[in-house]
């Protein structure tokens, strides 16, 4: 909820959180948009793991004025019934290991990574089945938004090489010449100063996620987006942040990544990355990082004002929870991904948060190029020309059945395949010697989410996205 303030006061938590563009000495004074910022989720060493943030963050009013104006522009377009934009972001997980077998310890399995990508898509597209369990108040459930942002596993490296494991790069720590600290637990400063700059893939084409083991109780942290320098002076000027483009992304502890394998409760449902990706796309904590007062802001008008972060989940699923800032029903929004609740009751973004996410994707440095990245499309081969004139899919979105119409220059064989965001083929049909054919495909029985329909001939291929809901 929007409240007025300039800079947050320091809260005395023993375990802290920062947002950072570049912050080697952690935890340190942080900034937002153009100044050192970083978001960290930290855990208590004993006896339980708990999300905790305490390092203050300063809101950059120039950036906020600019992004508020971009949100208003998008609202005007929406009122004019302009078609919504659905962004698909290629994601690459850099798995930092020390020689463990794949699927053991730090060297997470592909299945565990795939479960994390699936969870991201469910959460950002309002497809998570658990939303109905904890989001029972009509006034709050009405705010639950499909953010129209999806994630796909990168299929090609920056050099154009096809990845044997889509979305995954495995890095043996010693192979990079990293000599310290001990690989059993990397410090955030080491990750920022050494690991990320030497392993990052082009952040204009990939969402970089590093998976490692931390030595200071951190669950994960993210780098905020920045504004174009032409609109906000030095705020978005990369010269004032010399290394921000070499550290852009999210860092996760391997124990809180995905929904299987090493993932440990109560943060074993993939919501740590959902939360950190929210920061990476410009969202603040829902309570405004003001300690227990009611003066902070997350710069979103439809999130309730609340007195601080929430931990765990109410004993009764979907029950109303109130505090000093929101003392009546429907209560505080502990169900929001940008709170600190346990994974099982984090189930939603609001329409206001969606507006901010969409504005960032459309305008911010290194975010606006991701929606047009081809990193999730593996080249089939090199052709002088393609005989595919057009490809159309109807209905889209669909409840199960789709019609795929292909317009070709010549009568020839073609194949229609449907893949999920993990690159797995879920349906494939071969059409013999046709032109202008319509192929009917039944996707009933597959999980709701984003799919890619590819038509391939001997001279080329074309891919379009379809939503199953």
Q: Name all domains of the chain by residue range, CATH numbers in brackets.
A: 39-372 (3.40.390.10), 388-468 (2.60.40.3080)
Given a cut of 50, whether residue 54 has pLDDT beyond it is: no
Beta bridge partners of 396: none
Helical segments of 53-182, H only: 61-79, 110-124, 131-134, 138-141
For residue 316, the 8-state DSSP code is S
Given a cut of 70, whether residue 49 has pLDDT beyond it is: no
Q: Name the 3-class secondary structure at 351.
A: helix
Given a cut of 60, whether residue 167 has pLDDT beyond it is: yes
Task: Name the catalytic one among 75, 276, 309, 401.
Answer: 276
Rounded to an integer, the average pLDDT of 225-244 is 53
What is the predicted pLDDT for the residue at 419?
87
395 in Cβ contact with 402 (< 8 Å)? yes
Helical segments of 364-445, H only: none
pLDDT (tens digit, 9 = 90+) per residue, 382-418?
A: 444 567 878 889 898 899 999 998 888 878 888 999 9
Residue pointed to by tokens 């159309």: 392
Determine which of 8-12, 83-87, 430-434 has the lowest per-residue pLDDT on average.
8-12
Measure the CA–CA gap between 375 and 379, rounded to whole angstroms.
Answer: 10
Given a cut of 70, whether residue 169 has pLDDT beyond it is: yes
* Nearest in space to 302 (alpha carbons), one of 149, 142, 146, 147: 142
More reliable by pLDDT, 453 or 433:
453
What is the predicted pLDDT for the residue at 8?
27
Measure the CA–CA gap between 286 and 338, rounded to whole angstroms.
Answer: 5
Given a cut of 70, whether residue 44 has pLDDT beyond it is: no
Q: Name the 3-class secondary structure at 154.
A: coil
Taking only Cα atoms into account, the Rg of the chain, rounded to an integer number of angstroms, comes to: 22
What is the predicted pLDDT for the residue at 232?
46
Given a cut of 70, whether residue 302 has pLDDT beyond it is: yes
Determine which of 34-48, 63-77, 103-117 has the lowest per-residue pLDDT on average.
34-48
Measure the CA–CA gap between 29 and 33, rounded to whole angstroms.
Answer: 14
What is the predicted pLDDT for the residue at 294?
85
Mean confidence (pLDDT) of the chain: 80
More reliable by pLDDT, 146 or 264:
146
* Nearest in space to 215 (alpha carbons), one of 182, 247, 248, 193: 182
Rounded to an integer, the average pLDDT of 259-266 is 83
221 in Cβ contact with 38 (< 8 Å)? yes
Rounded to an integer, the average pLDDT of 106-128 is 96
Given a cut of 60, whether residue 22 has pLDDT beyond it is: no
What burial class does residue 340 get, using C-beta atoms within 10 Å of its C-beta: 0-12 exposed, 13-18 middle, 19+ buried? buried
More reliable by pLDDT, 423 or 104:
104
More reliable by pLDDT, 153 or 193:
153
Residue 277's pLDDT band (boundaries 50, 70, 90)? very high
Rounded to an integer, the average pLDDT of 122-126 is 97
Residue pointed to by tokens 């990082």: 289
| Global pTM value | 0.76
More reliable by pLDDT, 35 or 375:
375
What is the predicted pLDDT for the residue at 83?
54
Q: What are phi and psi of 254, to 5 degrees?
A: -60, -25
CA distances from 191 to 29, 39, 94, 249 (A): 18, 14, 12, 12
For residue 195, the 8-state DSSP code is I
State which H helix or E strand residue 275 sits in. helix 271-280
Q: Quote the distance between the C-alpha of residue 430 and its chain's center.
A: 35
Q: What are phi and psi of 416, to 5 degrees?
A: -110, 120
239 in Cβ contact with 60 (< 8 Å)? no
Q: What are phi and psi of 408, to 5 degrees?
A: -115, 155
Determine which of 73-87, 111-125, 361-375, 390-404 has the lowest per-residue pLDDT on average.
73-87
Given a cut of 70, whether residue 327 has pLDDT beyond it is: yes
Residue 182's pLDDT band (boundaries 50, 70, 90)? low
Task: Judge whether 276 counts as a catalytic residue.
Answer: yes
* Nearest in space to 254 (alpha carbons), one of 224, 206, 218, 281: 218
Determine which of 22-26, 47-51, 308-312, 420-424 has the lowest per-residue pLDDT on average.
22-26
More reliable by pLDDT, 359 or 13:
359
């Amino acid at each position: 909820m929007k409240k007025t303030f300039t800079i947050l006061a320091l809260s005395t938590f023993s375990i802290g959180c920062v947002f950072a563009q570049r912050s080697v000495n952690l935890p340190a004074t942080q900034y937002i948009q153009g100044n050192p910022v970083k978001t960290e989720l930290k855990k208590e060493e004993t006896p339980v793991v708990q999300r905790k943030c305490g390092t203050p963050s300063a809101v950059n009013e120039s950036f906020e004025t600019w992004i508020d104006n971009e949100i208003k522009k998008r609202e005007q377009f929406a009122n004019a019934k302009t078609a919504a934009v659905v962004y698909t972001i290629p994601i690459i997980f850099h798995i930092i290991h020390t020689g463990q077998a794949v699927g053991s310890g730090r060297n997470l399995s592909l299945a565990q990574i795939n479960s994390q990508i699936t969870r991201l898509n469910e959460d950002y597209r309002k497809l998570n089945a658990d939303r109905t369990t904890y989001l029972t108040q009509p006034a709050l459930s009405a705010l639950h938004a499909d953010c129209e942002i999806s994630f796909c596993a990168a299929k090609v490296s920056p050099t154009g090489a096809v990845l044997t494991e889509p979305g995954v790069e495995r890095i043996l720590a010693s192979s990079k010449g990293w000599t310290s600290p001990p690989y059993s637990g990397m410090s955030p400063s080491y990750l920022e100063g050494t690991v990320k700059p030497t392993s990052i893939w082009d952040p204009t084409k990939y969402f970089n996620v590093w998976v490692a083991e931390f030595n200071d109780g951190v669950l994960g942290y993210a780098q905020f987006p920045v504004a174009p320098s032409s609109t906000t002076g030095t705020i978005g000027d990369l010269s004032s942040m010399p290394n921000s483009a070499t550290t852009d992304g999210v860092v996760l502890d391997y124990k809180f990544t995905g929904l299987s394998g090493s993932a440990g409760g109560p943060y074993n449902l993939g919501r740590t990355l959902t939360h950190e990706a929210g920061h990476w796309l410009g969202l603040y904590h829902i309570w405004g990082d003001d300690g227990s007062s009611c003066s902070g802001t997350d710069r979103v008008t439809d999130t309730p004002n609340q007195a601080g972060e929430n931990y765990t989940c109410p004993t009764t699923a979907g029950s109303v929870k109130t505090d000093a800032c929101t003392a009546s029903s429907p209560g505080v929004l502990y169900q929001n991904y940008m709170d600190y609740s346990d994974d099982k009751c984090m189930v939603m973004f609001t329409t206001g948060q969606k507006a901010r996410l969409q504005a960032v994707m459309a305008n911010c440095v290194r975010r606006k190029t991701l929606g047009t990245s081809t990193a999730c499309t593996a080249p089939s081969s090199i052709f002088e020309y393609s005989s595919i004139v057009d490809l159309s899919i109807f209905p889209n979105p669909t409840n199960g059945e789709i019609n795929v119409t292909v317009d070709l220059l010549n009568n020839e064989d073609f194949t229609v395949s449907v893949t999920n965001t993990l690159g797995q083929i879920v349906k494939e049909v071969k059409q013999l010697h046709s032109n202008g054919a319509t192929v009917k495909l039944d996707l009933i029985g597959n999980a709701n989410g984003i799919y890619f329909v590819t038509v391939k001939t001997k001279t080329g291929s074309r891919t379009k996205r379809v939503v199953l809901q």
